[in-house]
Structure 1
Amino acid sequence: MTGHAKLSAFEAAYGFARSDVRLSNWRQAPWNVWAFRHVSELIPTARIAATPGLTEDAVVAPGDLLGLTLATGEETMTIADALRRTSTDAMVVMKSGRVIADYHAANFTLQSRHILFSSSKSVTAVVAGIAYDDGLIDLDAPVPHYVPELKSSAYADARIRDVLDMRVSLDFSETYQDPRGDFARYRRAGLLEPAVPGDTPDSLIAFLASLQKGAGDHGGPFHYCSPNSDVLGLVIERATGRRFSGFVSERLWQPIGARQDACITVDATGLARTGGGFCMTPRDFARIGELMRLGGTLHGRRILSHHWVEDTIAHGSAEAWRAGPGVAWLPEGRYSNKWYQAGNASGAFFTLGIHGQMLYVDPVAELTIAKFSSQPEPVNNDLKRLNLALFDAVAKQA
């Protein structure tokens, strides 16, 4: 073909062809910008149904919000600068229960879903709280009480409480960019990467059953390991007798008034990857933050007990946090029920997923912010701190 080839609508929008995006590169820039919004085209998912007939209000332009400034200690920048620097795909800001600003990058709409990655863990913990409130989960019970397949694994004597607080002693390394390590095997078990012959367990539960205990006892330092949250999802399924996606739809998604169906990635057996597979719209993500901000009640309906919310946002172990690696980027932080506590004067708490997925709640400012990003690196402590500075600036000025 001579001359300039005409770009497809997809290529014009994203700068590359749809055929360029594969399971082997979907988390890498620039392909991740599209892939994080279209996970179900790459990985099997289960539907989490919203109540039919609910629709979103119109987009609220961010207006003056983008011109607000924040100081990082090294420089001063605008909110718009910070959004660009953190590769933001979408952000919604709610004040006192009302949407006051939507920010959407190119090709993102109110109906666009985005993967949460490890912010999924926090949503899974909310679902665990609902099952706990039903009297179905004993936090002091050992994991095999609910999942006997794990009785020969590291989880044999781990309590559900240890799983919730990331205080399981586990011989597992969360190295995101090692193609042959434990984390790569974990991803392959969840169908998140192409299979490698002879190196992929048949299923997620087979992978979990292969994990062994670390050197210390359970209940010690904060030790971030994603498989713990998939164990929690298994516990929820066994305790409730329900498929995870169906329980979430009935007991969380529809009660909070979610406007769009969500979905969650599943393995070859249909098991939900509750440690990182949720996909949803930013406004629906923000509704989960509002549920937590309001102590478990939304739209006049009790969905989650105040006891569970209080335990999540105020009772993390400072000692366990200081003994773990998170102190390097969140010096005053704590962690409880898979939510981070900022340790600041406003009592802010938040979720966190790789590549910049966050849900931030400031109870004093009555503020909830949901933010999706496609940051090129999975983990960047400088960008974590910048995101927190951005949220704090919005809380103080919006």
Structure 2
Amino acid sequence: MTDPAPSSAFEAAYGFARSDVRLGNWRQAPWNVWAFRHVSELIPTALIPATPGLTEYPPVDPADLLEQTFPVGDGTASVADVLRRTSTDAVVVMKSGRIVADYHAPNFTAQSRHILFSASKSVTSVVAGILYSDGLIDVDAPVSHYIPELKSSAFADARIRDILDMRVSLDFEETYQDPRGDFARYRRAGLLEPSKLGDTPDSLLAFLASLQKGAGDHDGPFHYCSPNSDVLGLVVERASGQRFTDFAAARLWQPLGARQDAYITVDAAGTPRTGGGFCMTPRDLARIGEMMRLGGMANGRRIVSQDWVSDTTTNGSAEAWRAGKFFEWLPEGRYRNKWYQTGNANGAFFALGIHGQYLYVDPRAEMVVAKFSSQPEPVDNNLKRLNLALFDTLARLC
């Protein structure tokens, strides 16, 4: 008997052919299950290298944890049930700095790197926080101080603090399913979608420069707009004098002790999509959460200042949050430095990306959870609540 052809092996694993996955459908089910783990085959990327030679710890069997049950709605569900319902690709649970469970869906390995989508924003914030700790970023300075090319845009008089907290007055909406309009143009600028026939997409910088101010003033209600976070990535480059990937590798990724190279999607000019393009392993994502839990420390060295971490996890305007559109699914929440605060008794905070990407940190339980998913819909508030209930349960079980 001969081995099956590679295409047959692929189809046996995923239920479709590799040739079926295209730039036009990579975020849609069922193709997203493969695509979210292989973004670099679809979109240009730039490398964020890890320190060579660091060894990874063996996987930790999650069997006991998967069998645990907890109340869900009018009944109960096991952890395994919830992982299936939330289209989970991988989960890593850390307790007091030690990995206590690894879960990998079929065809996902410890070396698989998955896209974070908007959980990338929280990583970008950590990188910006390093520069803030160095005294090279003034959060009260206008964006145009660092990026003069945006002096005719909505960002001209917005402060760095406004982009960190999603309080820029911006004539822009996150309409994920709309194939037209500014959000679709934004995706094309980041090379995340096919260009229109005969059309050359804007660069990310040109797209950002085209955005205009909304009806209100800056520093108003929480208004979630991904382009804010791409602006922050450009601020990092201008303030550091380095490419974002080089600075992130030297000051975050390698000191963190990341075991695998990360990468980030880039536009045609090489500008990184710091608002949603990071790709990494779940364990390395968990290491970022552990560093935040420890107040900015990793491997006995300081990565970012305690002041930055404390500001991120305890400050932020409750009034601005209540005036925004995310209040409905996180009523006690706040948002600061591109991280969400739950408002729960444990002081938990988290990073969040569409299709179910999470980095959840519970300081009182000394727990960190990194979770990658391929949920069919980009936004599902019911699944957000279910994921948060899962994390709260893990904090009690682990």
TM-score of Structure 1 vs Structure 2, range by shorter chain: over 0.9
> Structure 2: which amino acid aligns with 1:327?
F
Q: Tell whether the 8 Å contact from 1:56 to 1:110 is kept in structure 2 after alignment.
A: no
> For residues 6 and 45 of structure 1, what CA distance do their matches in structure 2 show?
25
Q: Say which SS state the counterpart of residue 100 (structure 1) adopts.
A: strand
By how many angstroms is 1:258 displaced?
A: 0.1
By how many angstroms is 1:201 displaced?
A: 3.8
User: What do the CA deviations read for 1:222-269 (whole angstroms, capped 9, x no partner)?
Assistant: 000000000000000000000000100000000010000000000000
Aligned to 1:20: 20
Aligned to 1:140: 140
By how many angstroms is 1:200 displaced?
A: 5.5
Q: Tell whether the 8 Å contact from 1:265 to 1:272 is kept in structure 2 after alignment.
A: yes
Q: Does 1:245 align with 2:245?
A: yes
> For residues 44 and 6 of structure 1, what CA distance do their matches in structure 2 show?
24
Q: Tell whether the 8 Å contact from 1:127 to 1:248 is kept in structure 2 after alignment.
A: yes
By how many angstroms is 1:181 displaced?
A: 1.8
> For residues 66 and 214 of structure 2, what CA distance do their matches in structure 1 show?
46
TM-score between the two structures when normalised by the length of structure 2: 0.98
Report 1:278-317 matches (<5 A): 278-317=278-317
Aligned to 2:224: 224
By how many angstroms is 1:76 displaced?
A: 1.4
> For residues 335 and 300 of structure 2, what CA distance do their matches in structure 1 show?
28
Q: Say which SS state the counterpart of residue 71 (structure 1) adopts.
A: strand
> Structure 1: which amino acid aligns with 2:339?
W
Aligned to 1:65: 65
Q: Say which SS state the counterpart of residue 326 (structure 1) adopts.
A: coil
> For residues 328 and 388 of structure 1, what CA distance do their matches in structure 2 show?
14
Q: Tell whether the 8 Å contact from 2:195 to 2:201 is kept in structure 1 after alignment.
A: no
> For residues 327 and 388 of structure 1, what CA distance do their matches in structure 2 show?
15
Q: Does 1:42 align with 2:8?
A: no
Q: Say which SS state the counterpart of residue 254 (structure 1) adopts.
A: helix
Aligned to 1:95: 95
Aligned to 1:358: 358
By how many angstroms is 1:316 displaced?
A: 1.4
Unaligned runs of 5+ in 2: none
Q: Tell whether the 8 Å contact from 1:143 to 1:159 is kept in structure 2 after alignment.
A: yes
Aligned to 2:118: 118
Paired residue total: 395
Unaligned runs of 5+ in 1: none
Q: Say which SS state the counterpart of residue 99 (structure 1) adopts.
A: strand
Aligned to 2:338: 338
- How large is the Cα RMSD of the aligned pairs? 1.3
Q: Say which SS state the counterpart of residue 326 (structure 2) adopts.
A: helix
By how many angstroms is 1:74 displaced?
A: 3.1
> For residues 253 and 5 of structure 1, what CA distance do their matches in structure 2 show?
38
Q: Tell whether the 8 Å contact from 2:55 to 2:259 is kept in structure 1 after alignment.
A: yes
User: What do the CA deviations read for 1:328-360 (whole angstroms, capped 9, x no partner)?
Assistant: 000000000000000000000000000000000
Aligned to 2:33: 33
Q: Tell whether the 8 Å contact from 1:185 to 1:199 is kept in structure 2 after alignment.
A: no
TM-score between the two structures when normalised by the length of structure 1: 0.98
User: What do the CA deviations read for 1:141-182 (whole angstroms, capped 9, x no partner)?
Assistant: 000100000000000110000000000000001000000021
> Structure 2: which amino acid aligns with 1:183?
F
> Structure 1: which amino acid aligns with 2:208?
L
By how many angstroms is 1:198 displaced?
A: 6.7
Q: Say which SS state the counterpart of residue 156 (structure 2) adopts.
A: helix
Q: Tell whether the 8 Å contact from 2:48 to 2:245 is kept in structure 1 after alignment.
A: yes
By how many angstroms is 1:5 displaced?
A: 10
User: What do the CA deviations read for 1:72-116 (whole angstroms, capped 9, x no partner)?
Assistant: 333311100000000000000000000000000000111000000
> For residues 316 and 71 of structure 1, what CA distance do their matches in structure 2 show?
31
